[in-house]
Amino acid sequence: MRIVRLANFVAERSGGLRTALHQLGAGYLAAGHEPVLVVPGPRRTDSQHPYGRLVTLPGPVVPGSGGYRVLAGRRDVARLLDSLAPDRLEVSDRSTLRWVSTWARANGVPSVMVSHESMTGLLAQWGVPRPAVRPIADRLNAATARAYDRVVCTTAWAAEEFRRIGAPDVALVPLGVDLETFHPARADAGLRERYVDHTEVLLVHCARLSREKRPHLAVDALAALRRRGVPAVLVLAGDGPLRPALTRRAADLPVHFTGFLPGRLAVAALLASADVVLAPGPVETFGLSGLEALACGTPVVANAASALPEVLGPAGEAAHGSPGAIAAAVTRLLAIPEARRRATARARAERFGWPAAVAGFLAAHAAGPDALPRPGVPTAGPAVVPPTAPHRVQAWRDLTGGCPTNSDR
């Protein structure tokens, strides 16, 4: 089955979204499907990778985004979709690509939108007046739910804004983590000594240096900790438009900027060598980098307003978005014996594997052995799974009434 996946805001230096797209693609390929990932780039390319076929179409850079591009040429995208003839369409974009759902319905192709952001959270971040945030988010989310056959959310936190409007077909599928690459054994004493001595505490913030990630809270929390006598040092791993402002903010503090870390092993070594990882962003719908930290045996302090506390469970602390609250949460974690807090972190991460995530996404596509029939479809024997050829999808819809529901999962 050919699963064509469209995504914006993906680049060579992307973080969690790029990781998820690659891991899911590799899983689809291993399951015998044909994944095709379509993203914007400076020029058109077509290449094969361990995660499947990658097609880039020319797309403009979004001003102020730090180099991210979007698929703005609708005719080019539509022509590509016509030529690819997908059996399933998967869209990782909340707004700019919603129009492709019209193409999917016109061509009888079941479509899924993966919600990687909270519309409610984004509107608040963009400065929309508070009383207007929820009504606008509800209206936009209702339009999204109508446009696609199914919405996939990676946490209950992310799904809530669809549940509250009664969206009919919402699947809950957690993402996974590479438990071999991100492992406590990646800890590097030499790397740690580059930043701290044996009396100091190493904090790491590993995310894009952009507004929605709130990296300034990590810097300010460091200042709060040092005022309390905690000899902490902060490493900001990643790059982004806020780096100049953060450099000025951290001028009198022990803060190190690594820039973009190109290798996953380099990221794993840094996470495993840290004492605590900070994730102060308030609109994370999953927080893959936080889960990668747990896999490395390092506990995480997350913004209580985000979905990450749901992922962390007992392996971290949730703090309201203030420097003092984050500093207090770090202090609580440091009070736990190191061996215990690291073992708890690793054990929590081991509950999230990519094979389970892949199986969940394929079920959401009605493409795996666990695909669920719609109510009213006979359940004796194998679950009803739609045919994969585009010209047979309409016949299947006539039989089942649409995509199998997953709204109560």
User: Could you tell me which of 183, 176, 180 has the C-alpha nearest to residue 296?
Assistant: 183
Distance CA 6, CA 148 (A): 14
3-state secondary structure of 52: strand
Where helices occur in 31-151 by DSSP H, the ranges are 74-84, 100-106, 119-125, 130-147
- pLDDT tens digit sequence for 310-337: 999 999 999 999 999 999 999 999 999 9
Distance CA 380, CA 163 (A): 29
Class of domain 2-176+354-400: alpha beta
Q: Note the pLDDT of residue 117.
A: 79
Query: Strand order of the sheet with strand 300-303?
Result: 255-259, 232-237, 201-206, 276-279, 300-303, 316-319
- pLDDT tens digit sequence for 151-178: 999 999 999 999 999 998 999 999 999 9
> Where in the chain are the domains?
2-176+354-400, 184-349
Distance CA 358, CA 176 (A): 9
pLDDT values of the chain reduced to their tens digit, one per residue, 409 residues: 999 999 998 866 666 788 899 999 999 999 999 999 999 999 999 999 999 999 999 999 888 666 788 999 999 999 999 999 999 999 998 778 999 999 999 999 999 999 987 888 778 877 889 899 999 999 999 999 999 999 999 999 999 999 999 998 999 999 999 999 999 999 999 999 999 999 999 999 999 899 889 999 999 999 999 999 999 999 999 999 999 999 999 999 999 999 989 889 999 999 999 999 999 999 888 889 999 999 999 999 999 999 999 999 999 999 999 999 999 999 999 999 999 999 999 999 999 999 999 999 999 998 654 443 333 222 222 222 233 333 323 322 332 233 332 322 2
DSSP 361-391: HHHHTT-STTPPPPTTS--SSSPP---SSHH
Q: What is the largest CA-CA distance in the chain?
A: 69
Q: Are strands 34-41 and 88-92 parallel, antiparallel or unpaired?
A: unpaired
Q: Note the pLDDT of residue 368.
A: 57
> Residue 69 carries which DSSP code?
B
Residue 364 CB contacts under 8 Å (≥ 6 apart), including other chains: 112, 150, 152, 171, 173, 406
Distance CA 355, CA 108 (A): 29
Distance CA 77, CA 207 (A): 30
Q: Note the pLDDT of residue 93.
A: 86
Q: Note the pLDDT of residue 123.
A: 85
Distance CA 300, CA 205 (A): 10
Give the residues across from 58 on adjacent strands.
Answer: 41
CA dihedral 238→239→245→246, nearest 10 degrees, is 10
- CB-facing half-sphere around the CA of 67: CA atoms within 13 A: 12
The 3-class secondary structure across 155-196, one letter per residue, is CHHHHHHHHCCCCCCEEECCCCECCCCCCHHHCCHHHHHHHC
Q: Indicate the residue type of 36.
A: V
CA dihedral 261→297→349→212, nearest 10 degrees, is -40
Please tell us whether the domain made up of 184-349 is placed in CATH 3.40.50.300. Answer: no
Output the CA angle 138-143-148, nearest 5 degrees. Answer: 125
Q: Note the pLDDT of residue 375.
A: 30
Specify the length of the chain in residues.
Answer: 409
Is there a common fold for 2-176+354-400 and 184-349?
A: yes
Distance CA 332, CA 363 (A): 40
